[in-house]
Amino acid sequence: MDEHKESLRKTAMSIIDTLYQGEAFLTAGFLASDTQLWTPFNSQEHYPAQVQAYLKTLQAQAHKIRHKSCSIVEQTNDLCILSGSYHVEWEHDRAKKELMCYTMVLKRDSRGKTKIRHLHISQDRNSGLELYIKDIRERAFFIEEDELLYLEASHNHIIWHCKYFEVESVGSLKEMEKVLPQSFIRVQRSFIVNTRHVRKIARCYAEMDNTETIQIPVKRYCDIRKSILRTKGEQ
């Protein structure tokens, strides 16, 4: 077993534990000046100045944490992305076990200390995966699967069309086909659509929730239509 990876997993689980167990000083040691924290209790971003109040909210409600999974999604020399899940029993209802999921980005600072760059906690996986991408200006974006409408190829770049914004990154649709879930289907050479947001499919195009239409090749229309309906559970 890779000892470094195991150490990172233990660090991630320890951070989750301290959020709920009242050990705020331990968690604060992992905070950086630009730490971003999203929670199921408040959709707003929480930066270090507000973390102490937020921790008190969690600590007052939580009773017991049981980790279910923790895996490394991506790792570089100074950055690690982890994804995990855990069950939490709440003080007000100990019979209820709620599944919580998280995406965490840990990064070494200039002194070599591990800090939280990003922590996103959600109540379940109904909203799908959270995708981590870097745009052409090296800015990090965390896009929930349900926010993504479709991907468009543009030379050696990808344009991520989301509900309220667009992001351009370096990459290819061929690479993305390998990592995206089955709800995403490549309908032609330049487009991959999120079938959750296909409002209508007709000969020979798919209309998305934002009213944009994406052409489907005539020769592939029947097969693509069947695939879209199958993933949407309509066939």
Q: How far is CA 139 from CA 132, 148, 154, 211, in A?
A: 11, 18, 19, 28
Kindly state whether residues 79 and 180 are assigned to the same domain: no
Kindly state whether residues 161 and 222 are assigned to the same domain: yes
Structure confidence at residue 15 (pLDDT) = 85
Report how far residue 67's alpha carbon sits from residue 16's, in angstroms, rounded to the nearest whole number.
Answer: 9
Kindly state whether residues 58 and 16 are assigned to the same domain: yes
In this predicted model, what pLDDT tens digit does every residue of 209-228 receive, in sequence order? Answer: 999 999 999 999 999 999 99
Instruction: Write down which residue in 83, 111, 126 finishes a domain.
Output: 126
Kindly state whether residues 162 and 89 are assigned to the same domain: no
Kindly state whether residues 120 and 153 are assigned to the same domain: no
Kindly state whether residues 53 and 120 are assigned to the same domain: yes
Kindly state whether residues 119 and 204 are assigned to the same domain: no
Kindly state whether residues 14 and 118 are assigned to the same domain: yes
Kindly state whether residues 148 and 180 are assigned to the same domain: yes
Structure confidence at residue 45 (pLDDT) = 47
Instruction: Write down which residue in 88, 108, 126 finishes a domain.
Output: 126
Whether this prediction's pTM lies above 0.75 is answered by no
- Split at pLDDT 50, 70, 90, the class of 23 is low
Please say if the pLDDT value at position 28 is more than 70: no
| Residue 33's CATH number | 3.10.450.50
Report how far residue 147's alpha carbon sits from residue 133's, in angstroms, rounded to the nearest whole number.
Answer: 14
- 138 exposed, middle or buried (CB, 10 Å; 0-12, 13-18, 19+)? exposed
Report how far residue 150's alpha carbon sits from residue 185's, in angstroms, rounded to the nearest whole number.
Answer: 9
| Residue 161's CATH number | 2.40.50.1020
Kindly state whether residues 142 and 96 are assigned to the same domain: no
- Percent of the chain whose predicted confidence (pLDDT) is above 70: 77
Kindly state whether residues 38 and 68 are assigned to the same domain: yes
The residue range of the domain holding 145 is 132-231
Instruction: Write down which residue in 77, 101, 126 finishes a domain.
Output: 126
Please say if the pLDDT value at position 206 is more than 90: yes
Average pLDDT, stretch 157-179? 91
Kindly state whether residues 63 and 78 are assigned to the same domain: yes
Please say if the pLDDT value at position 48 is more than 80: no
Q: Which of 42-46, 51-55, 129-133, 173-177 has the highest mean pLDDT?
A: 173-177
Count of domains for the chain: 2
Structure confidence at residue 51 (pLDDT) = 54
